[in-house]
Amino acid sequence: MENIEKLKGQVVEDINKAKDIKSLEDIRVAVLGKKGSITELMKGLASLSVEEKKEMGKNLNLLKTEVEAVLETKKSELEEAELNAKLNNERIDVTLPIRPETQGRIHPVSKIYEEVVSIFGQMGFAVAEGPDIEDTFHNFTALNMPDNHPARQMHDTFYLPKEKNGSQDMDDSYVIRTHTSPVQIRTMQKQQPPIRIIAPGRTYRSDYDATHTPMFHQVEGLVIDKNITMAHLKGCLYDFVKTFFELDEIPVRYRPSFFPFTEPSAEMDIGCLKTKSEIKIGAGNDWLEILGCGMVHPNVLRAGGIDPEVYQGFAFGVGMDRLAMLKYGIPDLRTFFESDVRWLKNYGFAPLDESSMTNGLSNNGGQTR
Ligand code: PHE
């Protein structure tokens, strides 16, 4: 009897000291398991006299019931504590302010992308896409640059090796696109006029200096409908640059140029003031080339399955990285793609300042950078 009381005291003490469910389970096994101390005592009953067996059996059963109850209570206590700890740990304070704690920044190219899409979106343009790996038909031929056309040399093209009968030999069947103009063709092949799209995306040329990187970004524009003239082109692009640079007025001029896929072709310049240290857009007597454009060549319309006798159109191509450099005063293009977080911290944008025509394009009111 004394032994039983002692054992009970010990077991209850152990149970109360248990720190987690696992150690509680260990105690249960040590006491009530197959070889547990109470189980052993119960096995020992067999060797006792009938009288003793009766008395001892009753006490042991009582002990067992009591220990089980204490175990059960402790178990629910521990379970509750574990749940509370978990809930506390995983709690998210949704009221915490996001800024200025947010470290992430939007890359200037992504910012320009958003700005360009919102401006043209407002004008009723849709966004079109094409593949980075392009066939020479879409990248050149359909754009009025047949095989051996000297204009193909104007682009420092990356050609992809073509697999032929299992062997790799150089063939000009595939390139990584040198411009976004192939998306013009892909759009025309899919859709009859009226067409009004922009096609922003990555483009590639083998070139590397402060204003050229092998991968860069362009946005293509294409409008095709009946009675489209160069006046539409000029109006559209003027509205674009004015809105993009967030100016009430901006001097622009068009210089005659050449692209095989437009006729006539032009380059658009915007007025600026160039000093040693910076370029100020919208004032001064200097000019800055900003984009290439023109009226879609009849051969290009034909290649896209559109009748040039019925439809006309204009197209343009703008370097988006260049737009970013000009608008945000970033001097070296190569730094765009070095993935240096210090650079991004300096030139990047707060993630919640989304560009839109209603809330402001760049939100450049001092808090973005
Ligand atoms: N694709 C031309 C380039 O990359 C730009 C351009 C596009 C010019 C559309 C005219 C019309 O230089």
What pLDDT digit, counting tens, does each position of 178-232 carry? 999 999 999 999 999 999 999 999 999 998 988 889 999 999 999 999 999 999 9
Based on the fold, state whether residues 65 and 114 are members of the same structural domain.
no
pTM: 0.71
Q: Which residue has the tokens 């590639």?
A: 204
Mutate to test the pocket of ligand 1, among 261, 295, 312 (most ligand atoms within 8 A of CB): 261
Of 229, 355, 242, residue with least CA distance to 290: 242
**Ligand 1: which residue has its CA nearest to atom 7?**
317
CATH code at position 254: 3.30.930.10
Cβ-count burial of 241 within 10 angstroms (0-12 exposed, 13-18 middle, 19+ buried)?
A: buried
Beta partners for 313?
A: 224
Based on the fold, state whether residues 221 and 290 are members of the same structural domain.
yes
Of 63, 89, 115, the residue that ends a domain is: 89
Based on the fold, state whether residues 252 and 152 are members of the same structural domain.
yes
Q: How many domains does the chain have?
A: 2
Beta partners for 271?
A: 287
* 270 C-alpha to ligand 1 centroid (Å): 17
Q: Which atom of ligand 1 is nearest to the CA of 317?
A: 7
Based on the fold, state whether residues 318 and 225 are members of the same structural domain.
yes
Specify the pLDDT at position 217. Answer: 97
Task: Give the sheet arrangement for strand 167-176, strand by strand.
Answer: 133-135, 167-176, 158-164
Based on the fold, state whether residues 27 and 169 are members of the same structural domain.
no
Residue 52: give the domain boundaries.
2-89
Phi–psi pair at 363, nearest 5 degrees: 45, 40
Mean pLDDT of 285-307: 96
Based on the fold, state whether residues 295 and 181 are members of the same structural domain.
yes
Mutate to test the pocket of ligand 1, among 183, 259, 312, 321 (most ligand atoms within 8 A of CB): 259
The reply to whether 266 falls in a domain is yes
The reply to whether 364 falls in a domain is no
Based on the fold, state whether residues 267 and 320 are members of the same structural domain.
yes
The reply to whether 127 falls in a domain is yes
The reply to whether 68 falls in a domain is yes
The reply to whether 361 falls in a domain is no
- For 306-351, the pLDDT digits (tens) are 999 999 999 999 999 999 998 998 988 999 999 999 999 999 998 8
Of 99, 98, 103, 174, residue with least CA distance to 140: 174
